[in-house]
Amino acid sequence: MGEVFAGRYELVDPIGRGGVGAVWRAWDHRRRRYVAAKVLQQSDAHSLLRFVREQALRIDHPHVLAPASWAADDDKVLFTMDLVAGGSLVHLVGDYGPLPPPFVCSLLDQLLAGLAAVHAEDVVHRDIKPANLLLEATGTGRPRLRLSDFGIAMRLGEPRLTETNLVVGTPGYLAPEQLLGAEPDFPADLFAVGLVALYLLEGAKPDAKALIEYFAAHGTPGAPKGIPEPLWQVVATLLQPDPQARFRTATGARKALASAAELLPEPGPDDEVIEIFDQLGPLPEGFGPGGPLKKAPGVEPTTPPKPMPSMSDTGSFHLPPPQAPAQKPEQQPEQQPVQQPRHSPHNPTHVLSTPRSYVPQYPAQPPTPVPHRSPDTASTASYTARVPEVPPPTGHRAARRRAARRPGPPAKVAIPLLLLALALYGTGFWALARI
């Protein structure tokens, strides 16, 4: 059992070492798989700031190995990324020496594709070298390269974490302008790609200083032995000391490389087959392919992830059919069972009953004829509300309805009121006559 970070990451064994930390193989208890975890060793503010800047990069590309998550526990911090088991280009050249030109073209194409994605985010890597170019353990299949280690990478326009006259990078893979203290830019990364290409083709680390001096004094040299001329023209353009004479973008260099690769001869049957092995080695005791064999103290309980639906041949997922809402079953009227004759049709001794004579039954009164409806009326009569038709009043009935109004007050009340009104009227008239 190893050390557990933040209740989630359990360190298994160290697999590498970087500039500011060690790289471990770790088990992610939440995602249930092995990952690579970079643990910060130094706790000074400068190293911590670089660590934070590196883990903040989120570049999703098949040929870029960028941080995926991070965690902190007391005075230690780490971030995780995919676990790549095939080692680096250093391991590959150490096993096979100079690599075949078509194989190198495949690796360079993937490197330039990943670098184009990095530059699209306005990020300059500043540390491209064979040790930072990792490989998947693909065996004898097509290689798969991953650009890693963004420890000193920076975005264009961000403040530098070092002094102006201090050079940051790996000696032997620095562009001439970097040695002069120029601001980081994309052509510097492309110069490092040219040095990596020369390393793969010759099987040894190139002398960058001697190359720069020769290019400056004599111009572009001829193709070295064993390197095809079309491929050398691409590599030589990447190695130009003047940044303005190089490819301006990784995409432009990739297009030129594709044109050169078409002119290379096809690999023959006697050419050596390159195989990329698993360089991590077996898991230590107490760990298996499915994780640790025993639960370590400090691990937070997690719920197992839900299984994903299987994918069909067309790339879509099989979803369960939609369920109709539950409906209340309708009560069906009870049906009386039909009385069947209790005999077997196969009984030859059965005697059939004598059929009764048919007597037509006539109704006592003739049926009322049903009025004929037009097709439009008949088709909507079942669901259209109809207002009952009432014929308008005519003749003396209308006069009687107009005369039938609300009656007035009874006579016992109307006569006294009328007399009182006349008395008041007379009194008023008499008062006016006396004035």
Amino acid at the residue 338: V
Contacts of 298 (CB under 8 A, 6+ apart): 4, 7
The two structure tokens encoding residue 123: 């990020």
127 is catalytic: yes
In angstroms, the CA 114 to CA 427 distance is 119
What is the distance between the alpha carbons of residues 248 and 115, in angstroms, rounded to a whole number? 13
CB of 149 closer than 8 Å to CB of 173: no
* Inter-residue contact 316 to 23 (CB < 8 Å): no
The pair of three-digit structure tokens given for residue 395, joined into one six-digit string: 């003749």
**Which of 202, 241, 238 lies closest to 219, judged by CA?**
241
- Only one residue has tokens 């190695």, namely 239
Q: What is the DSSP letter of 186?
A: H
Tokens of 29: 């208890």
Among 236, 238, 234, smallest CA distance to 218 is for: 236
Range 358-365, long-range pairs (CB < 8 A, 24+ positions): none
Bridge partners (DSSP) listed for residue 24: 14, 37
Is residue 92 within 8 Å of residue 114, measured between CB atoms? no
| The two structure tokens encoding residue 25 | 């193989």
Of the candidates 28, 127, 149, 189, the residue annotated as catalytic is: 127
- CA distance linking residue 217 with residue 229, whole number of Å: 21
Burial class (CB in 10 A: 0-12, 13-18, 19+), 131: middle
Residue spans of beta strands (DSSP E) within 29-116: 33-40, 69-73, 76-81
Q: How far apart are CA 134 and CA 81, in angstroms?
A: 12
Burial class (CB in 10 A: 0-12, 13-18, 19+), 291: middle
Cα gap 1→10, rounded to integer Å: 8
Side-chain-facing half-sphere of 347: CA atoms under 13 Å: 7
What is residue 133's DSSP assignment?
Answer: E
CA angle (353, 355, 356) in 5-degree steps: 125
* Residues belonging to the active site: 127
